[in-house]
Structure 1
Amino acid sequence: MASNQFTVASPPSDAISALKFSPDPESTQFVVSSWDKNVYLYDLRDENGSVGEGKLLQRFEHRAPVLDVCYGANDNEVYTAGLDWDVRRINLATSEQTVLSSHDAGVRNVVYSKEHSLVVSASWDSTLHVHRVDTSADIPPATVPLPSKPFSMSLTATKLVVAMASRSLHIYDLKALALLTEESGEVVNNKIEVEPWQRRESSLKFMTRCVACMPNDDGYASSSIEGRVAVEWFDPSPESQARKYAFKCHRQAAEDVDVVYPVNALAFHPVYGTFASGGGDGVVALWDGIAKRRIRQYQKYPSSVAAVGFSGNGKYLAIAVSPGFEDGRDDIPEGSVNIHVRELGETEAKGKGAK
């Protein structure tokens, strides 16, 4: 490949809401959800096995804009969440769509836990639905009430972090959520009061835009609409909590004024544990959260960065760009929605202290 960056052919026609690579380190597939009511399946490799412009393999139509998408147990299944209020499973091999459950409002996020065979969805009806998907039995999801509307959700092998309105965060023990689905259908159908493992208030003063968990299960990063990122650890000990910090980013100087942009997207590198941030300023930066330093900042893209994601082996970084309405416009100019993929150098995303 001549350049270490290329633009994917056949992008969505409306704003991108999420982008996720297959977690399989050998796979170069990724899925994208969009406000154009579709989920797109791409592969960076062509028929000859070489990485080029990326290839659109399939498109899966929904009834309403799709707000989130994630892979399931393997490369053949994904789960979606959207404004049709449904949580769906898509069999990528057969294109069959199955509705797992329906919320009472739009579904903002969906995540899959391979360790516990759970699909968890978070809806603007202020509930979580916890689905057990490793059984053929038709078990309805457990419904867990939330104190306010969810904005973002991420998980590790053992924890689920839900960032909500009012700067509230709940951290759940996934093992405890898995136990809910083993109850009888009558119990599961009712909302079950589940005590979070931890309740926290965001370290950031303004509304949370995104949360992403560290791959080593130690903690998470969160971002706000006011150009800041916070890094925190799960360990409740005073020593560990004293390590948490926040920093300013995604700000542009314009005529001696510091213009602040929302930090829309966060993603951790699966190998090095560093993370990428994408902002409304059209900039993507890589950070070493342990050393508290920026590793590098990439070129400015013409539109807001809506989503970022690393491939399962960490060799590729995909950047979804689409207008974020920071300029007051609410239309999507033709050609303004794009997916750029960077092939990372061997140490490009490596942190200062990484071996």
Structure 2
Amino acid sequence: MSQHFKVKSCCLPDRCYALAVRYPLMVVGTADRNLTVFNLLKPQTESMTIKSPLEHQTRCVAAFPDKKGFVIGLIEGKFAIQHFDFLQENFSLECHRDGNEIYSVNSVNFHPAMSRCNQPIPCSAFNKDGSMFAYSVCYDWSRGADNHDPKTAETRIFIHLPEQGDDKGLGKRKGRAREREPGRNRSRRQ
């Protein structure tokens, strides 16, 4: 049964420019470059406020499927990954650029069937005519031998067959890899 009255209201520090909900997590991006995080199980109080790591206006936000952080897109053609666990490394990348022209990141989303790759992708390559894309997923030793666990560190090679439309909206880049789409990738253990 839907409710026809507000359950909760709160004052934000500035105008709301972006909002994402992945219950019980809600992330609000405001005009003053703040990102306010709410736990909807306790909507009376905000969980935390984080200053955007980037210099320009937040355009969009999406919560991680595992609710352990979020990604923000900005008008400066960048996106930033923000984890709630302060031990995790946050980072940002430039995208949507063509020479001196910069395009804003207007929307960010997560595909419900594709999960995060749980290991590094140390190498990838297209074949000569671009009809096949191969990439490996394995422990890359960047964190040393002490962090290598042979029980969880599977080595796999995936072959993706790019199709017409895989490069839509990507300009000159071709063939995004889709690890979990049934029937499209073949994997082989080493």
2: distance between equivalents of 1:168 and 1:290?
A: 31
Query: Among 144, 154, 171, which residue is 2:20 paired with?
Result: 154
Write the distance in 1 (CA, Å) between the matches of 2:119 and 2:24: 21
Which residue does the alignment assign to 1:298?
Answer: 167
Corresponding residue number in structure 1 for 2:87: 239
Question: Structure 1 segments of 4 or more deviating over 6 A?
Answer: none
CA RMSD, Structure 1 to Structure 2 (Å)? 3.4
Instruction: Answer whether contact 1:216 1:273 (CA < 8 A) is retained.
Output: no
Report the equivalent of 1:248.
94
Q: Secondary structure at the match of 1:199?
A: strand
Residues 172 and 225 (structure 1 numbering): CA distance in 2 closer, same or farther, change over 3 Å?
Answer: same
Could you tell me how far apart the structure 1 residues matched to 2:14 and 2:32 are? 7
Q: Does 1:268 align with 2:110?
A: yes
The 3 A distance-change label for structure 1 pair 259 and 145 is same
CA deviations over 1:261-307 (Å, ceiling 9, x no partner) = 10111110112235xxxxxxxxxxxxx798599x99723489xxxxx
Paired position in structure 1 for 2:67: 217
TM-score, normalised with respect to structure 2 = 0.61
The two structures have a TM-score, normalised by structure 1, of 0.34
| Residue in structure 2 matched with residue 99 of structure 1 by the alignment | none
Query: Partner residue of 1:21?
Result: none
Higher relative contact order (CA 8 A, sep 6+): 1
Normalized per residue, the structure richer in strand is 1
Specify every segment of 5 or more residues in structure 1 that has no aligned partner in the other structure, as ranges.
1-133, 178-193, 275-287, 303-313, 316-343, 348-355
Structure 2 CA distance for aligned equivalents of residues 220 and 289 of structure 1: 17
Unaligned runs of 5+ in 2: 123-134, 136-161, 172-179, 186-190
Deviations along 1:6-38, whole A, 9 cap, x unmatched? xxxxxxxxxxxxxxxxxxxxxxxxxxxxxxxxx
1:169-248 equivalences in 2 (<5 Å):
169-177=35-43, 194-235=44-85, 238-240=86-88, 243-248=89-94
Alignment check: 8 A CA contact 1:227 1:262 kept: yes
| Post-superposition CA distance 1:318-338 (Å, at most 9, x none) | xxxxxxxxxxxxxxxxxxxxx
SS in 1 for 2:76: coil
Whether the aligned pair in 1 keeps the contact of 2:97 and 2:103 (CA below 8 Å) is yes
| Distance (whole Å) between structure 2 residues aligned to residue 175 and residue 159 of structure 1 | 9
Matched, 1:259 2:101: yes
Contact 1:210/1:222 (CA < 8 Å) preserved in 2?
Answer: yes
